[in-house]
Amino acid sequence: MLKTAIYGVLRVTFDLIGDPLWWWGLIPLALGLATAIFGVIFAAVQTDMKRLLAYSSVENIGVLFTGIGLAIVFHGLGMTELAALALIAVLYHSVNHAFMKSLLFLGTGAVLHATGERNLGRLGGLIHRMPWVAWLTLVGVLAIAGLPPLNGFVSEWLLLQTFLFSHEVPQPFVNMLLPLGAAIVALAAALAGYVMVKFFGIVFLGQPRESSLAVAHDVDGFEKAGLVWLAIGCVLLGLLPNQVIHALGAATEQLVGAAPNLAGQSWWMLAPLTERAVSYAPLVLLAVIVGVIMATFLIVRVVYRRAVRRAPTWDCGFGRLDPRMQDTAEGFGQPIRHIFVSFFEMERELPSPLDQSPRYRVKVSDRFWKGVYLPIAGLLQRAANSVAWLQQGRISVYLTYSFITLVLLLAVML
Amino acid sequence: MNAVAWLTQLLEVLAALILAPLFLGWVNACRAWLQNRRAPSVLLPYHGIRKLFHKDAVIATDASPLFRLAPYVVFGAMVAAAAVIPSMGTGLPFRSAADAIALVGLLAIARVFMSLAAMDIGTAFGTLGARREMMIGFLAEPALLMVIFVASLLSATTALPLIAERLVVQPLALYPSLAFTAVAFTMVLLAENARIPVDNPATHLELTMIHEAMLLEYSARHLALMEWAAALKLFNYACIGFALFVPWGASIGATGIGALALSLPALLAKLAVAGLWLALLETVSAKLRVFRAPEFMATAFMFAVLGLLVHLLLGA
């Protein structure tokens, strides 16, 4: 759904307008970078599963707009090949995001269905109760955190490679500021990793925070299939980038008149920029990692045949561990609140040391909601109110309106 | 691909596996000397890892399979990283599998799995460690990427072996931009490897731990793999630093056995100096409070940006 906007923006800028000026690109670029950072920072402090994922979508849309901005800049300056590469990154990321986010939303849906709970503070330990959902969601989590060899990494890699060229833009100052955008993209990607560790760790790992979670059940049949094919999509999109880029090339050909030249390259290696000699081979990388893991496992098994014993949690000898001592969603987001304090509006109620029944309450809200959306909504409401008297509910009045409009139009045309 | 290239690749991974604990032991020994203590044997990390492999593992009853899988994934990611970093030679067969950006991704895999494993049992210390580790990670990653950017602007590629090659092949010159980024890289290295001033590897106070807090519940072979992976991470970071800033000594391109044979002593010499330098930095600085770490990393980032601007303004 969100990507419809991306489609619209691409069609309007490259198809309808045709030849955008290069500096127009700076606007979506700046907006995109700001959106990415805001989205991911707010995702990090959410306590509701679905709100967390929604803010993460805000971040991804920001990343997409960053790519569109770069594409416009390059296209406007006649650097067609780079514009095509930036657009490929955008389209690739859109496809990736469709798979990853659908997988994560289906996963949270399964959790919601099984537990009736969306609040992260009341979940936990579901990997024991719902292993299918947990492990498949883990694929989505690793993908959206931008880890190789999954799909999220490929589009991020392409975008960063495109950014590396931005110093070649023949405009003073702009060519120095653009590479800094790459650092913001990297920060957003690294923060996305933070958000996803929080999301997965609190929902699926640790101990259940509520006793009611003991009845949670795993998905079955069709639900499983729905998750599995999305997870497979995430893996394949990550492992076979050349094939995906080849398919997307047709679209960039139409939009900016060029497509990355992948002819004569090995099918398993992504090397879109021949003059830079950079390459990325996810299959080889995966093979190396899996090979090392298997070898290590076998050596450990064969050479050191030692038993595994189960015992209660050690926790440095502390004997009275209970599930309330784990990090809550608020607790895990605390470093973000601390570092990016100026981004948030916080209401805090701190207990005094003498309090007999201490309470701690914190409410974090979005400055944009109050500062931008509510005023706009208020303005619309007032505008609507001021024209509301036009609505009389009588057909004769409406006929009069039509008549007056007709007369006015005739007067204008004649 | 010729035989020498594959030999380089094999030797390099083996060297990483074998030298990593030694490098850690060397840093610890240097630190002890600088602090007027009697140093432990530089071979101590080997004894520790060997001892752990010979023990029965104890795993918490609440642990999920993820907890047992994580040490292998972390170790696997670190070995894969070692395979693409040109520590001994640049003509590596695996070098086209991952460039420097993918290398950052490999290090991120290890970080994410370690944090997830730390949250798996649901102890207070584990989640605390995971949260802090991820915080340091997201602060360090942009700085590290800017460092890589500057190096790749100088050599027009993000492939680490080619960056090293081009620096050696070019006539010797001073690059002011590299000087700034070297400072930034050293700061990232200290933060990412849980060294002072961001974390203290020798601490016994759980509340101040970052890296150690995540490993509290591990024992025996799982702990051994985690410790070995941590040593490999330090070794990898040192070798990334060598490839970016002092690649001399590594065998360049597809040269013969002779250059390869020379590259091992060169690597050992570089590691010895780097270890001493790290120990010196750790000795003269104090551990920062956890929430001063963002300032530390922001400074690293600013140094990297300065390097970038210097490069773009001066073209060097």
Q: What is the per-residue pLDDT across B77-106, written as a single tens digit (0 to 9) for each?
A: 999 999 888 888 777 778 778 888 889 999
Identify the band that residue A207 occupies on the pLDDT scale cut at 50, 70 and 90: confident
DSSP H or E segment with residue A308:
strand A308-311
Summarize the confidence of residues A154-166 as an average pLDDT.
Answer: 87
pLDDT over 90 for what percent of chain A?
20
Distance CA A33, CA A59 (A): 9
The confidence score (pLDDT) of residue A333 equals: 83
Note every long-range contact of A263-272, with CB atoms under 8 Å and residues 24 or more positions apart, other chains counting: A267/A240, A267/A242, A267/A243, A268/A240, A268/A242, A269/A242, A269/B96, A270/A154, A270/A241, A270/A242, A270/A245, A271/B96, A272/A85, A272/A88, A272/A158, A272/A161, A272/A245
Distance CA B232, CA B194 (A): 13
Q: Do B116 and A277 touch (CB under 8 A)?
A: no
Q: Residue A364, Cα to own-chain centre: how many angstroms?
A: 21
Summarize the confidence of residues A16-43 as an average pLDDT.
Answer: 87
Q: Do A128 and B64 touch (CB under 8 A)?
A: yes
Summarize the confidence of residues A353-380 as an average pLDDT.
Answer: 84
The confidence score (pLDDT) of residue B78 equals: 92
**Average pLDDT, whole number, for chain A?**
85
pLDDT, tens digit, 9 for 90 and up, residues B3-52: 778 888 888 889 889 999 999 999 999 999 998 888 888 899 999 999 98
User: What amino acid is encoded at A24 in this protein?
Assistant: W
**A284: which chain B residues are within 8 Å (Cβ-Cβ)?**
94, 96-97
Summarize the confidence of residues A311-335 as an average pLDDT.
Answer: 79
**Does residue A260 or residue A123 have the better pLDDT?**
A123
The confidence score (pLDDT) of residue B96 equals: 78
Q: Does the pLDDT value for residue A383 go beyond 90?
A: yes
Identify the band that residue A276 occupies on the pLDDT scale cut at 50, 70 and 90: low
Query: Shortest Cα distance from A290 to chain B (angstroms)?
Result: 7
Q: Does the pLDDT value for residue A274 go beyond 70?
A: no
Distance CA A118, CA A111 (A): 8
Identify the band that residue A173 occupies on the pLDDT scale cut at 50, 70 and 90: confident
Question: Which ipTM score applies to this complex?
Answer: 0.90
pLDDT over 70 for what percent of chain A?
98
Q: Do the beta carbons of residue A66 and residue A36 sit within 8 Å?
A: yes
**What Å distances lie between residue A5 and A9, A168, A254, B153, B308, CA to CA?**
6, 30, 18, 34, 35
* A interface test, pick of B67, B75, B158, B177 with most A CB neighbours within 10 Å: B158
Which residues fall within 8 angstroms of residue A373, CB to CB, at 6 or more apart?
none
Identify the band that residue A33 occupies on the pLDDT scale cut at 50, 70 and 90: very high
**Average pLDDT, whole number, for chain B?**
86
Q: Does the pLDDT value for residue B292 go beyond 60?
A: yes
Q: Do the beta carbons of residue B92 and residue B84 sit within 8 Å?
A: yes
When mean pLDDT is compared over A248-262, A313-327, B182-196, the highest value belongs to B182-196
Query: Shortest Cα distance from B208 to chain A (angstroms)?
Result: 14
Cβ neighbourhood burial of A342 (10 Å; 0-12, 13-18, 19+) = exposed
CB contact B212 to A (< 8 Å): no
Alpha-helix runs per DSSP H in B96-175:
100-120, 124-155, 160-169
Q: How many CB atoms lie within 10 A of CB B154?
A: 21
ω before A323 within 30° of 0 (cis)? no
Q: Do A300 and B58 touch (CB under 8 A)?
A: no
Q: Does the pLDDT value for residue B305 go beyond 80?
A: yes
Q: Do the beta carbons of residue B102 and residue A285 sit within 8 Å?
A: yes
Question: Of B172, B182, B174, B189, which Cα lies nearest the Cα of B147?
Answer: B182
Window B:67-96, CB contacts with A under 8 Å: 72-73, 75-77, 79-80, 83, 94, 96
Which tokens in the block code for residue B218?
């591990």
**Does residue A368 or residue B191 have the better pLDDT?**
B191
The confidence score (pLDDT) of residue A263 equals: 65
pLDDT, tens digit, 9 for 90 and up, residues A34-67: 999 999 998 888 888 888 999 999 999 999 999 9
Nearest to A315 among B72, B125, B157 (CB): B125
User: What amino acid is encoded at B182 in this protein?
Assistant: A
Nearest to B123 among A182, A304, A321 (CB): A321
Identify the band that residue A1 occupies on the pLDDT scale cut at 50, 70 and 90: low
Summarize the confidence of residues A235-258 as an average pLDDT.
Answer: 83
Q: Does the pLDDT value for residue B214 go beyond 70?
A: yes
Domain assignments of chain A as residue spans, ordered by start:
3-262, 375-413
Q: Does the pLDDT value for residue A93 go beyond 80?
A: yes
Quick one: angle between helices A49-76 and A174-204, nearest 10? Answer: 160
Q: Does the pLDDT value for residue A271 go beyond 80?
A: no
Q: Does the pLDDT value for residue B1 go beyond 60?
A: no
Q: Does the pLDDT value for residue A18 go beyond 80?
A: no
SS3 category, B119: helix
The confidence score (pLDDT) of residue B149 equals: 87
Q: How many CB atoms lie within 10 A of CB A115?
A: 22
Q: Do the beta carbons of residue B188 and residue B143 sit within 8 Å?
A: yes
SS3 category, A129: helix
Q: Does the pLDDT value for residue A302 go beyond 70?
A: yes
Summarize the confidence of residues B250-279 as an average pLDDT.
Answer: 82
Summarize the confidence of residues A221-231 as an average pLDDT.
Answer: 86
Nearest CA in chain B to A239: B97
Nearest CA in chain B to A336: B135
Summarize the confidence of residues A155-176 as an average pLDDT.
Answer: 82
Query: Count of A–B CB contacts within 8 Å?
Result: 255
Query: Shortest Cα distance from B135 to chain A (angstroms)?
Result: 7
Distance CA B64, CA B48 (A): 26
Query: Shortest Cα distance from A252 to chain B (angstroms)?
Result: 24
The confidence score (pLDDT) of residue B161 equals: 82
Identify the band that residue B186 occupies on the pLDDT scale cut at 50, 70 and 90: very high
The confidence score (pLDDT) of residue A253 equals: 81
CB contact A190 to B (< 8 Å): yes
The confidence score (pLDDT) of residue A264 equals: 65
pLDDT, tens digit, 9 for 90 and up, residues B137-171: 888 988 998 899 888 888 878 888 888 888 887 77
Give the alpha-carbon dihedral of B154, B155, B157, B160, to 10 degrees.
-100
Nearest to A281 among B97, B108, B119 (CB): B97
